[in-house]
Structure 1
């Protein structure tokens, strides 16, 4: 299945459960070095968006 990421790029997902696990971990990642705070904000937005899309797909599949 494909998911469109925050940048509009199609991402091929071959293992939904693993993709959700990875997105959940990545959305919480932060650098200790505060000079990366702007980068971390963009990454959090990206991975939060991806996590929400993936979990919505899982919910639709589970409901069927």
Structure 2
């Protein structure tokens, strides 16, 4: 259940490439992003790609967690 001060409109974060991402369900977005951070290819030939992907999803995760903190405690 969203916090009582949860906005009625969609929120937005910006990814590492400068693209806006609309967030309509912060808890679901955090859950999905946490899963994506753990994905890896079995083949080592994808290690550089996997590093870039992990950095991307970690950035998104941190932004979502910050947004969630603001929603739950707007005084900070």
TM interval, short-chain normalised? over 0.9
Structure exhibiting the larger radius of gyration computed from Cα positions: 2
- Structure-1 residue corresponding to 2:18: 8
Which residue of the partner structure matches residue 42 of structure 1? Answer: 52
CA distance in 2, matches of 1:13, 1:61: 13
Unaligned runs of 5+ in 2: 1-10
CA RMSD in angstroms comes to 0.7
Going by fraction, where is helix more abundant, 1 or 2? 1
Q: Using the alignment, how far apart are the partners of 2:57 and 2:49 within structure 1?
A: 12
TM-score by length of 1: 0.95
Structure 1 residue ranges, 4+ long, deviating more than 6 angstroms after superposition? none
Structure 1 gap ranges (5+): none
Please give the TM-score of this superposition, normalised by the length of structure 2. Answer: 0.81
- Count how many residue pairs are aligned between Structure 1 and Structure 2: 64
